[in-house]
Amino acid sequence: MKFVFADSLDYVDPNFDFIADRSPAERQPYWDDSYPHEILGYAPYDGVLVSRGIIGDHRVKGKYTASQARRFELVGARKFLRLDKPAFAHLDIFGDCGAFSYVSEERPPYSAVEMVEFYEDCGFTHGCSVDHIIFDFDSAGSGVDGGSADARNRFDITLENADAFRREAEQIDASFTPLGVVQGWSPGSMAEAARRLVAMGYDYLAIGGMVPLKSPEIKLCLDAIRDAVPWSTKLHILGFAKADDIDSFHGFDIASFDTTSPLIRAFKDAKQNYYLPGEGLALHYFTAIRVPQAIENPKLQRSVKKGVFRAEDLLRMEAAALGSLRAYDRGEAELEETLHNVLVYSALLVEEKSFDDCGGSPAMAKLAARYRRTLAERPWKRCGCAICVSASVDVIIFRGSNRNKRRGIHNLAIYKSHIERLDLKRAINRPTELPRRLCAAEQ
């Protein structure tokens, strides 16, 4: 099972100075920065997915600058992502349209012909057909019953595009593998879309619209799809947000999935920000310690403007929190003293009150318990990845993109070895024969 990382320019500055809290003045973004596979010294994924919508253009506002977008098209995906070294030659480069970026449009802004050309010219190894997201989801819907007029329209657009996409790829003898995208409003309609894609000639399907669904709903869809297509049809899950549940999906014979989840959770999750391998085949999570920049944090600045706190007091508390975390890391400060200094600064964020007035509140007590565990277990000392070794305690400090993304990249490394351990377990316990079920396409 291939773990594909959905990139959106997730690089860090290898020369970032944690003590001065800044990059060198001469740093050139992108050129002087490191992708995860550069800073770790190996690729913590089996492939990278780039969405057309993330690159952007005059129609869709992406994340790339205009000159980055031009360079991507000029030098191709592999060179742009700096995956053009022999050590990374085995990595796949998936492309999709990034259907979320045009979800409110009546039709996708890209044509099938244009996307085939884009994937081919930019050297993608795999390219997804042009889909249109369907938001309705009815887990009980059977066959192609139900579905709003809008959902049915998007279903038709997605399938028409897939047909044109495949014909065009065949016509130009494309060097990438085309994937037909499944969109539907129910397990039954997704199964029907999958059946039609197989009939068009696709042997690799990408299942879209999974991002908002919970694991049991995703499984209902996979069940229905697996029943409708041959076992030889490969399945990819697009935007698999439930990546940590991956072990419970192994019965569906998923060939690949893409996600940003391990990276994003480093700074978007309330509690589970830092991964380590846990007991058996589980993942272990730790809460990162928030010490935001006093002069940049909007909430803290609002409090200063309202006169609740003085700016110099904020800076003093921020410095005390950072200073004691570093001293604790060196073995020069006690846990309780460090925790206290962190909580004094946290109170301003959590309760917008001074610690003396809210230190015992339920929210502060919960936070204290999570931070105490992180400090007591010192998880960053237990990881040998290049990031944890060089950043040490800064990897667990929730503050600014250089620390937060480093923690996210560390999570990618832990997640990659988690997937490898699961695959190893499956290889050992592999049933002698794959389930043989007659499916619609084989009958």
Q: Which residues are catalytic?
A: 96, 258
The H or E element that residue 306 is part of is helix 298-306
Q: CA 65, CA 63: separation in Å to the nearest integer?
A: 7
Q: CA 197, CA 229: separation in Å to the nearest integer?
A: 9
Q: Specify the stretch interacting with Zn ion by CB under 5 A; choose among 37-45, 68-76, 352-360, 409-417.
A: 409-417
The H or E element that residue 234 is part of is strand 234-237
User: Which one of 246, 314, 325, 388 is in contact with Zn ion (CB under 5 A)?
Assistant: 388
Is 30 or 285 the residue whose CB approaches Zn ion more closely?
285
Q: Specify the stretch interacting with Zn ion by CB under 5 A; choose among 250-258, 285-293, 351-359, 387-395.
A: 387-395
Nearest by Cα to 206 from 47, 54, 83: 47
Q: Per CB under 5 A, does 37 bind Zn ion?
A: no
Six-digit token string for 142: 């059977």
Is 60 or 385 the residue whose CB approaches Zn ion more closely?
385
Chain mean position to CA 178: 22
Q: Per CB under 5 A, does 407 bind Zn ion?
A: no
Is 399 or 410 the residue whose CB approaches Zn ion more closely?
410
Closest distance of CB 380 from Zn ion, Å: 7
Closest distance of CB 389 from Zn ion, Å: 8
Site string for Zn ion, 346-385 (x = CB under 5 A): -------------------------------------x-x
All residues at 6 or more sequence positions from 62 whose CB lies less than 8 Å from its CB, including other chains: 53, 54, 55, 56, 69, 98, 101
Q: Specify the stretch interacting with Zn ion by CB under 5 A; choose among 226-234, 241-249, 369-377, 402-410.
A: 402-410
Residue 71 pairs with which residues in a beta bridge?
A: none
Instruction: Assign 277 to helix, strand or coil.
Output: strand
| H helix and E strand count, the chain | 16, 12
Is 317 or 386 the residue whose CB approaches Zn ion more closely?
386
Is 267 or 309 the residue whose CB approaches Zn ion more closely?
267
Residue 49 pairs with which residues in a beta bridge?
A: 6, 94
Q: Per CB under 5 A, does 393 bind Zn ion?
A: no
Six-digit token string for 146: 């139900």
Closest distance of CB 297 from Zn ion, Å: 26
The backbone torsions φ and ψ at residue 437, rounded to the nearest 5 degrees and listed phi first, read -125, 140
Nearest by Cα to 8 from 79, 69, 88: 69
Closest distance of CB 387 from Zn ion, Å: 5
Q: CA 149, CA 392: separation in Å to the nearest integer?
A: 54
Closest distance of CB 15 from Zn ion, Å: 19
Is 229 or 385 the residue whose CB approaches Zn ion more closely?
385
Q: Contact 125/176 with Cβ under 8 angstroms?
A: yes
Q: Where does residue 443 rank: exposed (0-12), middle (13-18), buried (19+ CB within 10 A)?
A: exposed
Q: CA 124, CA 134: separation in Å to the nearest integer?
A: 26
Closest distance of CB 414 from Zn ion, Å: 7
Q: Specify the stretch interacting with Zn ion by CB under 5 A; choose among 17-25, 296-304, 344-352, 388-396.
A: 388-396
Q: Per CB under 5 A, does 391 bind Zn ion?
A: no
Is 132 or 416 the residue whose CB approaches Zn ion more closely?
416
Q: Specify the stretch interacting with Zn ion by CB under 5 A; choose among 113-121, 410-418, 426-434, 435-443.
A: 410-418
Is 93 or 388 the residue whose CB approaches Zn ion more closely?
388
Six-digit token string for 300: 């803290």
Residue 235 pairs with which residues in a beta bridge?
A: 205
Q: How far is CA 389 from CA 18, 331, 371, in A?
A: 14, 16, 21
The count of residues interacting with Zn ion (CB under 5 A) is: 4
Q: Per CB under 5 A, does 197 bind Zn ion?
A: no
Q: Per CB under 5 A, does 403 bind Zn ion?
A: no
Q: Per CB under 5 A, does 410 bind Zn ion?
A: yes
DSSP readout, 189-202? Answer: HHHHHHHHHHHHT-
Closest distance of CB 265 from Zn ion, Å: 15
Q: Specify the stretch interacting with Zn ion by CB under 5 A; choose among 49-57, 164-172, 324-332, 406-414.
A: 406-414
Residue 144 has, within 13 A of its CA and on its CB side, a CA count of 12
Q: Contact 238/128 with Cβ under 8 angstroms?
A: yes
Closest distance of CB 38 from Zn ion, Å: 15
At 97, which amino acid appears? C
Is 165 or 275 the residue whose CB approaches Zn ion more closely?
275
Closest distance of CB 420 from Zn ion, Å: 16
Q: Which residues bind Zn ion (CB under 5 A)?
A: 383, 385, 388, 410
